[in-house]
Structure 1
Amino acid sequence: MRFWRVAGILFLIGAEALLYGYSYPFFSLALEKRELANWLIGLNASLAGVGILFFGHFLPQAIDRLGIGRLIGLFFFIPFLAFGAILLFDHVFVWFAARFVMGTCFSALWTTTEIWLNGEVDDRNRGRIIAGSGTLYAICQFLGPLALGLTGVEGSLPLVAAMVPLAVGAILAVSIPSRPLAPHEAADEAAFEGVGNLRVAITLAGTILLVAFISGIGETAMQSLLPLYGTAHGLSDAAASGLVATFALGEAVLVIGLGLLADRYGRRAVLIGATLVAIVSTATLPFAMGRDLLLQPALFLAGGTIAGVYTLGIVLIGQDFRGQRLAIVSTGFGMSYSAGSVIGATPIGYLIDLFGVEALPVAVAAGFIALLAFLMRPARATAGTSDPFAAGK
């Protein structure tokens, strides 16, 4: 029974990633066809990432009250209705409202499916299964734009094509038997009464949330600014886009290997090693430009280890937390990553304006150096926390 539950959750993760990869180019291209200003198209894209920062505080309570399967089914069904609203009421306001609603639901899906999967897998195989889900996510996200190429962006076909997997996901989510989260411990109730979930998550696992925040900054900045980095070094638009493809390939391939290493050699040690490789590989980029034999491996390693640091953070959460604490810390982890994603590219882009394009790899490497310093600090027992780094686990 557990095998089929895990398989069903992995299917939901794949469907979620496919829709995520499909919706981003769909909205941009469809709104461009409506001759909207570029800043409005950018605003529409930003709406997809901010909803979880508001709703995330209530996510653990929603899981507790509705059950995780029913809640995930709702997160598939609401975007189904949003696409249907665009189909019925083709108005700019509906496009923007639908994007906000979908972005919130997709971000919440990303967090809740991770919580569900982490609660179902056994600790012996946790690293490889969580890492495998990350690879599955990357592959399905890559397939999303390809599917859009088949449907096009005009007419009802692309909307209907998105609604079909959403309907399947909603039905499957409520059909998978789910075990309830462990009840609240009395100590938790006394300690956390009246305290916001994000603050609780920081109290329980501040270092792990820093892992998510730095990963969000690094991944978003590299994916969004690497094309500019390439063109500044004289590459064509196609070659500059190829830098992102190599970076993304590393995300898809290396994460599963890091998961296997984590199960065998220890999650904390592998996380520290991945952070160190992320520093070296990003810092190598200024010296690697123009030398493909060095550039392609550096980008590949940077993509794999930056994504791997995030994935190993999820593995550590599943290893060290159960029940409501798992929901609270996982939600805080997702919110921290989203916060890094929302704010990451803007200040680094400003640094590029001030100091030139080499500010991109230098700033990303500096962020991971700061993370490494936190991971390597002397372990100490801290009351009221399960942080594996603060407690020396």
Structure 2
Amino acid sequence: MRWGTYFAVLSSVLSVGLALGVSMPLVSLRLEAWGYGAFAIGVMAAMPAIGVLLGASLASRLASILGTANLMRLCLWGGSISVGLLALLPNYWIWLALRLMLGVILTMVFILGESWINQLVTENLRGKLVALYGSCYALSQLGGPLLLGVIGTGHDFGFWVGTALLATSPLLLLGRSGAPSAEASHVSLGDLAGFCRQLPAIAWAIALFAGFEAMILTLLPVYCLQQGFTPEIALAMVSTVVVGDALLQLPIGALADKISRRRLFSGCAVALMASSLAIPLLVDTDAIWPLWVVFGASAGGLFTLSLILIGERYRDDALVRANAHVAQLWGIGCLLGPLAAGAGSQWISGQALPLLMAAGALGLVILSQRPRAFGTVQPVAA
């Protein structure tokens, strides 16, 4: 086990979470201040999803040409430039293009980083170390809104912090080894359909969590403002959701090494459904704060368990391709989630965001009870 490489890869991916956490809520709040409605903000939040689909199709091919570590460094530097341009070019249509670029670039970072981590860890520690990755990534996103709350939203400091983080993090990957090998192959949507048929519950959970994550960083601040909270309280609520995601992933990962991962997966789906339904009922009470924690923890647990189950089954190029499918599903979730929630919030109900999450979780609860919902692939020996 290459511990130094594990923490270097972990840190480089965490810089992405912190950069997004400090810059993406600022985009939404800036658009809301400019007078854009929930649907326009939802379109902005969904734009990276198209980039995700493009990045997922290219990651394996480019990694085979440039090498995993080299490609990750180039993508991080490219992301730094894109976030910096958000500050320099404050225009809705230009921001749409920059968000598309971020989707392409940072998708490849996630595919390669998650593959690298799953390749490094040993089977007896897989649950804990993959959960540590999920927990630390969530904490990095938590740090973003908190930092944004400290430095303020009236200027562009949040964009410049994100730029600096993405510019310096590639240095951590210099001289690191143990990355999965990749073949020069194209990952198509047809391949994704086969992955979904093989592991339908995992595929649904990934898409659901992607929609959750996109909406939490972009539409949840707007939802909280619409409920009468100040921008500072709205950002604190976003941070509380991420706290739940972050703090409870390690216990979930530890349990995944000891009890049935399928049963634990179903439990997280039920908890997400129940907490989503309770949000409209408790949003004006003090009980909303612990509820935000459960909401974030249950959603994050589904994604962590999905990565653990994928890591059991694949190695090297197969692992890179599986994580490319994860990115494709992420793109679909990021595209459909904010669009549906934004449209629903503007034209149907102000409670569309939590109700949409409840509906998605209900579908997952039903799907996870199917006998072949988690596939029949035998775990690969470490």
TM-score tier (shorter): 0.7 to 0.9
| Secondary structure, counterpart of 1:264 in structure 2 | coil
Shift of 1:133: 1.3
Query: Which structure 1 segments of 5+ residues have no match?
Result: 380-386
1:304 aligns with 297
Shift of 1:351: 4.0
Map Cα deviations across residues 116-161 of structure 1 (whole Å, 9 max, x no partner): 1111111111111111112211222233355565598868x87765
Query: Which structure 2 segments of 5+ residues have no match?
Result: none
Q: How many pairs are equivalent?
A: 375
2:55 partner letter: F
What are the residue-to-residue correspondences of 1:326-337 with 2, within 5 Å? Answer: 326-337=319-330
What are the residue-to-residue correspondences of 1:133-282 with 2, within 5 Å? Answer: 133-145=133-145, 150=151, 162-181=162-181, 196-221=190-215, 224-226=218-220, 239=233, 241-282=235-276
Shift of 1:273: 1.3
2:119 partner letter: G
- Return 265-274 or 168-177, whichever deviates more: 168-177
CA distance in 1, matches of 2:344, 2:86: 39
Whether the 8 Å CA contact 1:30–1:154 is kept in 2: the answer is no
Is 1:315 matched with 2:316?
no
CA distance in 1, matches of 2:278, 2:41: 34
Whether the 8 Å CA contact 2:252–2:301 is kept in 1: the answer is yes
Whether the 8 Å CA contact 2:116–2:180 is kept in 1: the answer is no
CA distance in 1, matches of 2:304, 2:217: 17
Whether the 8 Å CA contact 2:43–2:339 is kept in 1: the answer is no
Shift of 1:229: 5.4
1:309 partner letter: L
Give the 3 Å change call, closer, same or farther, for CA 204–299 of structure 1 in structure 2.
Answer: same
1:384 aligns with none
Give the 3 Å change call, closer, same or farther, for CA 193–116 of structure 1 in structure 2.
Answer: closer
Give the 3 Å change call, closer, same or farther, for CA 274–30 of structure 1 in structure 2.
Answer: closer
Is 1:389 matched with 2:375?
yes
Shift of 1:86: 7.9
CA distance in 2, matches of 1:86, 1:207: 37
| Secondary structure, counterpart of 2:199 in structure 1 | helix
Shift of 1:249: 1.9
CA distance in 2, matches of 1:370, 1:71: 37
Aligned with 1:342 (options 327, 332, 335): 335
Is 1:372 matched with 2:365?
yes
CA distance in 2, matches of 1:272, 1:138: 21
Normalised by the length of structure 1, the TM-score is: 0.79
CA distance in 2, matches of 1:331, 1:224: 24
1:11 partner letter: S
2:64 aligns with 64
Give the 3 Å change call, closer, same or farther, for CA 142–307 of structure 1 in structure 2.
Answer: same
Give the 3 Å change call, closer, same or farther, for CA 195–371 of structure 1 in structure 2.
Answer: closer
Give the 3 Å change call, closer, same or farther, for CA 23–282 of structure 1 in structure 2.
Answer: closer
Map Cα deviations across residues 14-46 of structure 1 (whole Å, 9 max, x no partner): 2121222233256567889xx977478876655
1:382 aligns with none
Shift of 1:238: 5.2
Whether the 8 Å CA contact 1:272–1:372 is kept in 2: the answer is yes
Bigger radius of gyration among the two? 1
Identity of aligned residues (%): 25
Whether the 8 Å CA contact 1:9–1:117 is kept in 2: the answer is yes
1:325 partner letter: A
| Secondary structure, counterpart of 2:371 in structure 1 | coil
Give the 3 Å change call, closer, same or farther, for CA 43–287 of structure 1 in structure 2.
Answer: closer
